[in-house]
Structure 1
Amino acid sequence: MGAQIKQARHAQGWTQTDLASRIGITQKTMHAIETGSPTVSIGSVFNAAFTVGVNLFGLEGTDLARARRQGEDTLALLPARVRKPVTKDDADDFAF
């Protein structure tokens, strides 16, 4: 994704410093994004990608909206809370 961001940034005619200032990060972090450093937050990567127009999910327009609705429908089927699993008491392990 870093290479795509770099390519899109060049197409916009922006320097790393230009893009970094637009999304509120340092030029050093921008460089880390473009080189694929695993230490950069995913939010910063997504912000950079969105700002230069990199397609994040391989979908656009109505296809993206449809995928979002499907995800929301799936989440609606999940329980509101997850129950804590019942565990066996260790004190009874040796009881005959």
Structure 2
Amino acid sequence: MLPSASRPASRYSLDAALLLGQLIRRARLERKITAAQLAERAGLSRSLVQRIEKGDPSCSIGAAFEAAAVVGLRLFDATQSSLTSAIQANAEVLTLLPRAVRAPRIETKDDF
């Protein structure tokens, strides 16, 4: 699926969305769950589930992650406890980094 003209996407992000959609569809079919059942369990519309499975990059990441969780697809190759540990570790690193990033000022050489 092509992104809308007002929101360009890189080839990498399009491929990643397509791969995630394929993995969700495969897990759903292996568990013999219909798209309508997945939609109901995840609290999504059936059309949104279909768009996620087709790799539509305009779907919200939260909806895609919820669909993946419902079909038992492990993302980031992690368990809940390892995700929690990773979140805490990243939060600690983020507290050490500056809050804002500014581009370095370019000095104007105006001495002629």
Matched, 1:35 2:81: no
Correspondent of 2:70 among 32, 51, 56: 51
Matched, 1:11 2:6: no
Distance 1:83 1:30, change over 3 A: closer
Aligned positions, number: 93
Matched, 1:71 2:90: yes
Please say which structure displays the higher CA radius of gyration.
1
Q: Give the AA of the match of 2:94.
A: L
Distance 1:82 1:3, change over 3 A: same
Correspondent of 1:82 among 58, 78, 100: 100
Structure 2-normalised TM-score? 0.64
Q: Give the AA of the match of 2:56.
A: S
RMSD of aligned alpha carbons:
2.6
Which segments of 5 or more consecutive residues in structure 1 lack a partner in the other structure?
Answer: 88-96
Identity %: 35
* d(CA) in 2 for partners of 1:38, 1:62: 29
Q: Deviations over 1:18-52 (max 9, x none)?
A: 00111122111111111101121111101101111
More helix by share: 1
